[in-house]
Structure 1
Amino acid sequence: MPTGRLKIVVTRRLPDVVEMRLKELFDTELSSDDRKLTRDELVEAMKRADVLVPCVTDQIDANMLAAAGERLKLIANYGAGVDHIDVHSARQRGVLVSNTPGVMTEDTADMAMALILAVSRRIPEGLHQMQAGEWEGWAPTSMLGARLGGKRLGVLGMGRIGQALARRARAFGMSVHYHNRKPLRPEIAEPLEATYWDSLDQMVARVDILSVNCPHTPSTFHLLNARRLKLMKPTAVIVNTSRGEVIDEAALTRGLRAGEIAGAGLDVFERGAEINPRLRALSNVVLLPHMGSATVEGRVEMGEKVILNAHTFADGHRPPDLVVPSMV
């Protein structure tokens, strides 16, 4: 445990109020230009820090941790997902890892619902038509989309965000179906009128909209592979606000181009910011730049959790949002 003020290194710009509080409480080194650090720069940052505050753009592997030296004691991740951090190697080296769970639940569920609406009702296509000056007036068969009421929503991963999305879907008159590692407790599932499917294949084949809400782990990589995507109805829509790696993006692109899947709304991508040009060119796809948690309130709350984890650690206690290897 370090003595004196903790040295905290932050890899990206955070909301002003968060940065101000970090500087008040700790010896804080902030990011001035808000760019993604290189691998070598990340290692150097870890060498200077008692606590590193990275985010999803910072890939931290075992070799980097080995090169970081002995000073680093806590990685206080700014975000809930930790698949970009080798948590097992960190713990082996005595480095704790914390995250910021729960604060982005409602925001991400809002965005998933927005994508469902955008794709089903062809909102971006209509927006483009208006902005390009191509609209020639109302017509009975123009821009026909799909009604949400009465449709089946399949939720892949019924954690906090999946449950929040299910509540929204029920308000739209949709029936909720879900696949999870295990069924929800009755007191959670019953108010949602949610139907559990032990077989992901069977659920995928029967839903009208499939929402991906599970984390990226070795067991969920390409969980929606080419074979499973072919099980979907040709009228079905797929939405992903979780992690891009859960879907085989090349197979999804082929299915969308061939008309085997009606549409997709994606806020995350398999290769980060490297978007498949063939996917980007499709009119039946809505692509967003990882905006699921992008609210002022959510990002400030994430920062408050980072501060609480670091402050608790500085006081010699276990960070409240400690991530243990069994969780990933």
Structure 2
Amino acid sequence: MRPRIFVTQPIAPHGLDRMRAVADVEVHPDATAPIAKASMIEGVKRADYLVCLMHDKVDAETIAANPNLKGVISMAIHPQLIDVKALEARNIPLTVIPPMVSEATADMAMALILACGRRVLEGDRLLRSGIYPGGQSNYLAGLGITGKTIGLIGGGGRIGKLVAKRCNGFDMKVLYSTPRRKSEAEEREAGITYATIDDLLRQSDIVSMHSPLRDDTYHQIGDREFGLMKPTAYFVNTSRGPIVDETALVRALQNKTIAGAGLDVFEHEPNVPPALLVMPNVVLTPHLGSAVLDLRIEMAEIVASNAIALIEGRTPPNLFDFAGPVT
């Protein structure tokens, strides 16, 4: 019998075709929502290998559904939603993808910064409703981006530096805050200035999140931090949802503690607080950070290469190291 692969959501066709050359591939057809756990379990039962996306939760129950599961091929850089201990206990290999979404995610952060500051979605909705205030009306006056101060929390990494590069093009002052300050040469090259997180929050016209999700960054931003921000400032998150206390964010927006927010990630994805859905000063996107066509094609090719290597008994190019940290 040919090996069987179950894919939790459609991915780029050429990657699927490459896997079909060596295995029977079943794809859960719904691309509009993450696969339900029950459907994933049923798919795992019918497969030798599971191909899952970053947003799929692969827990111990899912892994146990098939005693003969031979491998999990993830389209995630960090398998935070996969029970790696359950896989390790059964010696089931896990593959991931390399860090490759930085440029696309930085683009998304910049898109949200501009959309929030210039009130792009509010203008779009207004125009579609038949209202045209006029080219010099103050009705939708927003925050000019050029020359303003942006604060990048966790901004010393790959994505933060790329956001800084884009902001430098707008002549913005770029503050960053990380647990370990970068060298002066690195700061100068990236065009960033170090600040404590509290000073960053007080000074910034826009605060953008770039912290990795760890135990020490869970709810890194809450009531106290929003209270330090300017009432005219905007908050943007393209990192991970649980870094922000979403209930505190809703309070800050409702109480006009901050001016607005741009969010690509949420604390309890795919669920979004109903209060955020009705706020006109909030721009919401469904985790589109890496949703760039050529990038998704490349990601599918890497997934296919990992799957084919496992099937052929070779070491996959992106084999996850169970002994290393899950960051």
Tell me how far 1:13 sits from its aligned partner.
0.9
Residue number in structure 2 paired with 1:327: 326
Question: 1:259–1:241: structure 2 CA closer, same or farther, 3 Å change rule?
Answer: same
Residue number in structure 1 paired with 2:167: 169
CA deviations over 1:131-165 (Å, ceiling 9, x no partner): 11111423353321122222222222333222221
Question: 1:254–1:110: structure 2 CA closer, same or farther, 3 Å change rule?
Answer: same
Contact 2:133 2:139 in 1 (8 A): no
Per the normalisation by structure 2, the TM-score is 0.89
Contact 1:56 1:79 in 2 (8 A): yes
Q: What is the root-mean-square deviation of aligned Cα atoms in Å? A: 2.3
Residue number in structure 2 paired with 1:293: 290
CA deviations over 1:33-80 (Å, ceiling 9, x no partner): 445433233234334433311113321223433x23442243211233
Residue number in structure 2 paired with 1:276: 273
Residue number in structure 2 paired with 1:213: 210
Q: State the alpha-carbon separation in 1 of the partners of residues 184 and 73 from structure 2.
A: 34
Contact 1:238 1:263 in 2 (8 A): yes
Q: State the alpha-carbon separation in 1 of the partners of residues 281 and 188 from structure 2.
A: 34
Residue number in structure 1 paired with 2:88: 91
- The one-letter code matched in structure 2 to 1:103 is M
- The one-letter code matched in structure 2 to 1:195 is T
Q: Which runs of 5+ in 2 are unaligned?
A: none
Q: State the alpha-carbon separation in 2 of the partners of residues 70 and 62 from structure 1.
A: 12
Verify: 1:75 aligned to 2:72, yes or no: yes
Tell me how far 1:306 sits from its aligned partner.
0.9
Task: Out of 170-179 and 43-52, give the one that drifted further.
Answer: 43-52
Verify: 1:303 aligned to 2:297, yes or no: no
Tell me how far 1:249 sits from its aligned partner.
1.1
Contact 1:56 1:82 in 2 (8 A): yes
Q: Which runs of 5+ in 1 are unaligned?
A: none
Question: 1:20–1:136: structure 2 CA closer, same or farther, 3 Å change rule?
Answer: same
Question: 1:249–1:323: structure 2 CA closer, same or farther, 3 Å change rule?
Answer: farther
CA deviations over 1:88-138 (Å, ceiling 9, x no partner): 332233223322233322111111101000101111111122111111423
Contact 2:145 2:172 in 1 (8 A): yes
Per the normalisation by structure 1, the TM-score is 0.89
